[in-house]
Structure 1
Amino acid sequence: MRVWAGSLIDDGPDRPAPMTTLLACGVCGIVGADALPGTAWMVTATFLVLVTTAFRGRRGRRLALVGATIALAATVANVRTGRTPRDDLRAFLDDASQLVTVEGAAFETPTLRAAAGSMRQFDHRGPATVFPLAVEALRAEATTVRVRGVIWVRVGGVMPPLRPGQLVTATGTLRAFPPPPNPGWPRVRPRLRHDAAATLFVADRDQLAITPGVADRAHRWRRVRAALRARVAAVVTRSAGPRPPRAHLLEALLLGRRTRDAAATDDRFRRIGLAHLLAISGMHLGIVVAMVLGLSRLAGGGPRLEGLVILLAVGGYLFLVETRLPVVRAGVMAACFGLGRLLGRRGRLDGIVAFGGVALLAARPDDLFRAGFQLSFAVVFGLVYLTPTVRRRWFGPPRRDLAGPVAMLRERSRDAIAAAVVAWVVATPIIMYHFGILSPLTVPLSLIALPFVTAVLGLGYAAMLLDPLLPSVAATLEPVLRGVTDMLLTIAQIADATPGASVNVIPPPAVWTIGMGVWTWVWGRTPNASSRRRRRVVTVTGAMLVAGYATVGVPHPWRPALRLDMLAVSDGSSILLGCGRERLLFDAGSMSHPDAGRTRIVPALRRLGVRRLNAIAVSHPDLDHYSAVLEVVDAFPVDAVLLTPAFRRHARRDTSGPEAFLLAALRRRGCPTETIVAGDARRLGGATLRWRHPDRDDVFDADNDGSMVVDIDVAGRRVLLTGDLDRDGIATLLSRHPFLRADVVELPHHGSAGPAVTRLIEHVDPRYLLQSTGPRRLRKDAIADAVAGRTRLVTARDGASTVIIDSRGRIRVRTHLGRPRGP
């Protein structure tokens, strides 16, 4: 009788490998690197190394050696992230934009970017071409310096053909990447030279010169890689057929390419907790390595041949897909495993993974703070250390040799369930911390989707390999590949429509996230044979952590009487009002970032704990105040969208305009709209919102003059939101409300200067001023004299800004980029 292989899960290691301990010391050192200067950490490391010679006992020496390793890791982190080489491009950048000419070699083939966002058809700026450039020289004000660094070049319109490795000379405005201006942006500090440092805005193709040929031999591989990727991309496009979502999914899974056009697919998979399927990482490379390893074993290859095949597969995979950090991390871990097989060394899996982590952190310490790094290594270590214990606890000891395929399938299913649960428990606190999302259905959906992902990878890469050799055979695989991809998309669509598949939560503090990680370790390492008291302590501790998050993380009515968050959307406006558990969004749009809803506003709202919006108020019919409304409505339940009479008049007058488009889109989504005028009032928790402008019959020559003005009364304080109110509107408002006063005022029209605005400020006499604007208006700062002596919060300078009014009427302000500044 044939004997079938049973469970694939071995007994977990009793103790961490030495390399795992080294990685843990490195993590502690990097986290504490900012606490002391690098020299202090170096002195500490030297002192602890000397201390080890004074201890006779093994335990004392180990403790001193661990402390020395932590201090040495902190020293390396400070050196790597704190020191900027003289020829580094970052040394020549500042907060201001510069008119420069750069020379360098193209990194990749340029990509044509069309307008983005739900209102993209009304963005008349046209497409732009972008590509990364390895800068070698920079010229500004007749001075040329040799520099090294990477920038993104954005050229207005369609540019001439450009291949990777070609020399490029471009003139434009160089603008350094600003720090994250809003909550919800990745919590990283990109200070290493490997990251792109700035964007060069080139007005048109006439400001760009391309030199024929390749820059040098070092750049030739880029041309070869681009040619191979172009040929493979053609195979993927042909296999996908005419359906765009299918093409987006195949490009993401097979090539690691995720474009703006795939935003809808990305968002759907993220909402249901399957974003890890689209972001190429260790899972995808692990599936590829497993396939190659299986073929090698079928061919009768030994361990050394298997190691060589693994290294070749990893090298080819990294050469083919887009080189992103998760791919590199997975490649390092797989290469370490293949190298061990090639050299005949059966190293422990946790040691191999830890070696990859140490190598990556030594090169890029800031990777530790990226969600991808944390998820990759935390999940892998969880699978190695915790899955065997959980598997034995739930299903008993694994069985190796079984009598039939049904028994084998049962054992493998038990392995998969234990691994999926462990991965979900480990990853959930990290995902909540970084993204503010809880996906209860991740475990069953991952188990359902994994076979389809494996089939897509196998069929897709087989079609790529067979296309140049046996195109007819490759063509027969394409219908099967389309069918499997469509089934995966159908699963995502059904799951997305299931209530509770994704829950927006308030991101927990770092301390809670670390505490949950420690609890997960103890929970996963607690076997059934442990004492009842220990199991009870673990259960009670977990319940306390969950209850603590529910108590501390969920907003309560007795906290601030009113919280106002002005988001940084550049040339646009979006202000969130929160009172107790109720929320109102005043405006949601941006002119300079048409996709601000998906990239800025929605992530910030999730980070701020928004689960539902009582209303969205659109101050007036200008796109920079409502271009992101549909993205917000798609992301959160919204009770109503509040509009002015002028907005509806615009929609009736131009049925093909953006106002009519927005109203029609809201009707299709089932989101009600209300017309609101002066004299109307609404309650928002303990605050009263009164509309002061415009009246129902007001008609102005300019749309700005008919902007909403909302007077918020809470805890004895007044807040005035003005939208884009301009000269005639200000005069009308002050004539109707001569005694209008406020403690906090939104500067009209993003801080435009003029006698009417000066009169409004003097009349209302606020202490705090809010200005939502882009860097161009701030550079001119024509309103500086009119606001002298008052605290002004400016999004282009301070990032997102918060005003908190407590129940006693005390006002506190803070900004996302630091302490608030004066005028």
Structure 2
Amino acid sequence: MTAARIPGVGLGIAAALVLGAIACLQLPVLPPRWVMALGLAIGFAAWIWQRGVGRAVGAFLFGAALCGLHAAYALSIQLPASMERGDFVVSGQIAGLPVHEPQRTAFLFRVADDDPVPKPLRGRLLRLFWYDDRREGTDLRRHALHAGSDWTLTARLRAPRGLRNPGWFDGEKRAMAQRVTAVGYVRSAEPVTRLDTGGGVDRWRERVATRIDAVVERDSARYVRALAIGDTRGLGDLDWEALRATGLTHLIAISGFHVGMVGGFFALVATGMWWCLPWLGRWLPRPQAAAIVALLASTVYAAVAGWELPTVRTVLMIGVVVIARLARRHLRIADSLAYAAIAVVLVDPMSVLSAGFWLSFTGVAWLVWCLPDARELSKLRGLLASQWVATIGLLPLTVILFGQASLAGPIANLVAIPWWSLVVVPLALVGTGLEAIHSGAGDWAWRSAAWAFDLSWPLFDWLAASPISLWWLPEPHWLALPFALLAAFWMLLPRGVLGKWLATLLWLPLLWPDRQLPREGEAELVVFDVGQGLSVLIRTAHHAVLYDTGPAIPEAYDAGERVVVPALHALGVRRLDAIVVSHGDADHAGGFGAVQRRFAAPVVFAPQWDRVPGASPCLMGSAWRMDGVTFRFLHPDLHFPAFRNPSSCVLRVETAHGAALLPGDIDDLVERLLVRRDAASLAADVVIAAHHGSRSSSDPAFVRASGAAVAMMSAGHGNRFGHPHEEVVERWSKAETAVGSTAGGGATRFRLQAGGLVVTQERVRRPRLWDAALQAEARAGAAGQAGLSYSPD
């Protein structure tokens, strides 16, 4: 058979399309739609009619324009600002598997096309939360909220809005990629009606998950669910932490390898049937029949797995192979990978935003390039070689995408890849297949899979607990990625290539980036965007102190785990020398447990009446000095009453180049008390406004005494308390103080340095096109909700 090549389609064109989509998504604002439509037409024409470089340029332009049009559509369907915080009665169907948590259920909801709701909501996808209804006998969410079921309910909605911090998760990006129109919660006080119990593939997956939980009487049942049907809802933060530490996340959820196993198995079944029944060859030759059966089986299984990107990529690759077989053409793996990438980008160019796209395609590409003679290698040598290629080749991407590298991963994968892939995963898949034939037929296979999984897990659990298992890395400069990819390419070249040791120098910008630490006598404050709460990192030349740890809702959401800890890692914080918990309210102390579990600060301060584990009282007059920077508590004194907010620890940070004031949630009475006690001690360049800008704080005398250049409000976007209050913003503005909010600008950095105060906000530092509408809203929105506009004298 001759090699199958499609003119104008290959590795170069696939790379050009992908790079075009990436380039578009790096723009801070999209160009007009007519410009993108024109670019699409010109790019397509050049792609079809040009040759060589011209064709690649055309594909690049086509990919950029196509991605821009998709992004414009995704942004246009988001809920208009005029409908924010509104209550809407919507009818539709639950999409995907609901995630049941102790106090709430999260689910995607597709509004019906003919639902009599405002046009911006018809047929749109919503992300909703259903919280506990405390009235007895009305807990519908857990017992009746099933995949595929139809409901009529009342939801309070807002446009997708995420937090912006140093780190690797961007909720707004995910909402745009999934085409989510709005997020909100079910108004359980209003009538809720289930119209249909539900059906379809997702409903069947949910039943299978329930069956696995019932028959597998082991803790590993949640892992069997993930391997059998791609249901990772049962895996908690600690589970994912252990999997990341051992580099096994690519094996625990259904991947392209699992889909390939299913396709290969059914291809063998079809081959056996054609051998046993030769007359079938008169209708369809055996190789073509095996390829078609493999494609059908893999497609069905990808649907069962929820159409995750790695499974879609594998199905497309199998489809390309099937077409080549039907045409009696030989197809290289590299060509099938290129065709699959082109198909994915043409169907959904914004898939390049997902980590799965890069890990799946890049992983296969590295193996194809580095191991072209894999068949000639022994099994052990091939396993070791593939592990070396995967570790080196994917290290730059895992650091850029997740900010971490698993040092234990190569060891763990040497055991997990053969054991899980050849024993655990096949048993889980057999159980799923038998369950599809008859209910209960697959119970024995699932139990066996759990038993086999438990045999290996103690080793991985031990590796995950090792202090060297996971290496967290700071956010690098964008140039670090191409340098690291070049280093990986250089190191994976054949033997005999000179100067491989020089490649280690190219890793340095990625593995040892500049953390931009303050100098002696300087300090940096980073006010994290934690929503309706507070968390501030204070860094000096060699030390770090955390003031408050963000909000938390027990067993539902923990900003310490989801925001503060990842942001600290992204900033390169290796240890915390002290934690100050201003007071015990959940919006300030909720994340303390998660932060302390990861960093174990040796010193903790809190008001003496708040029961913070291991804390010393933050008494007025207490002070310490680090790297030429003085930390001093101004409140409360020893005899101050045990009030909640008014008892907050008030911390002053004084450097050689200015000062910052962090007053927690004190009210105007305490502010006036501080002014009378020692007004000079309140002078500061930066003030984190008390109580998130509440009307009961920021007393005029306190504002005048501080003389601050900048007042920062840490508050959630559109919060129900109305923080920051308009009167408070006006009060600071009249004092010629620049006013900013984390809700408008994201995490904000204040650098007190020799050249003066430097202010940087995350949404300004790293503008994204999915922020464009929010930036426009901030410019025209309510006072205090916009980003910070500060110009030093």
Tell whether the structures are fold-level matches, with TM greater than 0.5. yes
Deviations 1:667-712 (A, max 9, x none): xxxxx64333222222343422111111233224x21111111110
CA distance in 2, matches of 1:822, 1:179: 21
Which range moved further: 273-282 or 811-820?
811-820
1:223 aligns with 2:199: yes
Match of 1:612 in 2: 575
Match of 1:234 in 2: 210
SS in 2 for 1:207: coil
- Residue identity matched to 2:731: A
SS in 2 for 1:612: coil
Instruction: Kindly indicate whether the alpha-carbon contact (under 8 Å) linking 1:726 and 1:756 is maintained by their aligned counterparts in 2.
Output: yes
Question: Which of these residues, 92, 95, 104, is aligned with residue 104 of structure 1?
Answer: 92
Instruction: Kindly indicate whether the alpha-carbon contact (under 8 Å) linking 1:571 and 1:591 is maintained by their aligned counterparts in 2.
Output: no
CA distance in 2, matches of 1:95, 1:539: 59
1:675 aligns with 2:620: no
CA shift at 1:591, angstroms?
4.8
CA distance in 1, matches of 2:19, 2:369: 20
Relative to structure 1, the CA distance from residue 372 to residue 53 in structure 2 (aligned partners, 3 Å threshold; closer, same or farther) is closer
- Residue identity matched to 1:704: N
Deviations 1:743-762 (A, max 9, x none): 10111111111366333222
Relative to structure 1, the CA distance from residue 435 to residue 226 in structure 2 (aligned partners, 3 Å threshold; closer, same or farther) is closer
Match of 2:250 in 1: 276
1:186 aligns with 2:149: no
Q: Percent identity?
A: 22
CA distance in 2, matches of 1:445, 1:242: 22
1:539 aligns with 2:530: no
| Structure 1 residues not aligned, in runs of 5+ | 1-12, 55-59, 116-126, 214-221, 392-397, 401-410, 652-658, 664-671
TM-score, L = length of structure 1: 0.81
1:448-527 superposed matches below 5 A: 448-454=415-421, 455-467=423-435, 474-524=442-492, 526-527=493-494
SS in 1 for 2:113: strand
Match of 1:587 in 2: 548
Relative to structure 1, the CA distance from residue 49 to residue 703 in structure 2 (aligned partners, 3 Å threshold; closer, same or farther) is closer
CA shift at 1:460, angstroms?
1.4
Question: Which of these residues, 74, 80, 84, is aligned with residue 70 of structure 2?
Answer: 80
Instruction: Kindly indicate whether the alpha-carbon contact (under 8 Å) linking 2:36 and 2:68 is maintained by their aligned counterparts in 1.
Output: no
Relative to structure 1, the CA distance from residue 450 to residue 46 in structure 2 (aligned partners, 3 Å threshold; closer, same or farther) is closer
CA distance in 1, matches of 2:74, 2:666: 46
SS in 1 for 2:651: strand
Relative to structure 1, the CA distance from residue 168 to residue 575 in structure 2 (aligned partners, 3 Å threshold; closer, same or farther) is same
- Residue identity matched to 2:570: R
Match of 1:687 in 2: 629
1:764 aligns with 2:711: no
1:43-442 superposed matches below 5 A: 61-83=51-73, 89-90=77-78, 92=80, 96-108=84-96, 110-115=98-103, 127-128=104-105, 130-136=107-113, 147-157=122-132, 158-159=139-140, 161-162=144-145, 164-186=147-169, 189-190=173-174, 194-204=178-188, 206-212=190-196, 223-243=199-219, 246-259=220-233, 262-296=236-270, 302-341=286-325, 344-388=328-372, 399=376, 411-442=378-409
SS in 2 for 1:735: helix
Instruction: Kindly indicate whether the alpha-carbon contact (under 8 Å) linking 1:305 and 1:342 is maintained by their aligned counterparts in 2.
Output: no
- Residue identity matched to 1:152: R
CA shift at 1:145, angstroms?
6.4
Relative to structure 1, the CA distance from residue 438 to residue 277 in structure 2 (aligned partners, 3 Å threshold; closer, same or farther) is same
| Structure 2 residues not aligned, in runs of 5+ | 133-138, 276-285, 768-774, 776-786
- Residue identity matched to 1:495: L
Q: How many residues are paired up?
A: 736
Relative to structure 1, the CA distance from residue 270 to residue 82 in structure 2 (aligned partners, 3 Å threshold; closer, same or farther) is same
Relative to structure 1, the CA distance from residue 815 to residue 568 in structure 2 (aligned partners, 3 Å threshold; closer, same or farther) is same
- Residue identity matched to 1:786: R
- Residue identity matched to 1:633: Q
1:578 aligns with 2:539: yes
- Residue identity matched to 1:175: R
CA shift at 1:419, angstroms?
0.8
Relative to structure 1, the CA distance from residue 678 to residue 800 in structure 2 (aligned partners, 3 Å threshold; closer, same or farther) is same
Question: Which of these residues, 760, 765, 785, is aligned with residue 813 of structure 1?
Answer: 760
Relative to structure 1, the CA distance from residue 266 to residue 755 in structure 2 (aligned partners, 3 Å threshold; closer, same or farther) is closer
TM-score, L = length of structure 2: 0.84
Which range moved further: 735-744 or 164-173?
164-173
Which range moved further: 468-477 or 233-242?
468-477
CA shift at 1:110, angstroms?
4.4
Which range moved further: 585-594 or 268-277?
585-594
- Residue identity matched to 1:324: E
Deviations 1:593-650 (A, max 9, x none): 7322222222222222222211221111212211111211233343332222122xxx
Relative to structure 1, the CA distance from residue 684 to residue 429 in structure 2 (aligned partners, 3 Å threshold; closer, same or farther) is farther
SS in 2 for 1:64: helix
Instruction: Kindly indicate whether the alpha-carbon contact (under 8 Å) linking 2:404 and 2:473 is maintained by their aligned counterparts in 1.
Output: yes
SS in 2 for 1:499: coil
- Residue identity matched to 2:751: I
CA shift at 1:193, angstroms?
7.7
SS in 2 for 1:506: coil
Relative to structure 1, the CA distance from residue 154 to residue 594 in structure 2 (aligned partners, 3 Å threshold; closer, same or farther) is closer
Deviations 1:147-171 (A, max 9, x none): 3320023233333635555543322
Query: How big is the alpha-carbon RMSD for the aligned residues of Structure 1 and Structure 2?
Result: 3.5
Instruction: Kindly indicate whether the alpha-carbon contact (under 8 Å) linking 2:165 and 2:762 is maintained by their aligned counterparts in 1.
Output: no
CA shift at 1:258, angstroms?
2.1
CA shift at 1:286, angstroms?
3.1
1:792 aligns with 2:783: no
- Residue identity matched to 2:710: Y
SS in 1 for 2:756: coil
Relative to structure 1, the CA distance from residue 53 to residue 771 in structure 2 (aligned partners, 3 Å threshold; closer, same or farther) is closer
Instruction: Kindly indicate whether the alpha-carbon contact (under 8 Å) linking 1:181 and 1:568 is maintained by their aligned counterparts in 2.
Output: yes
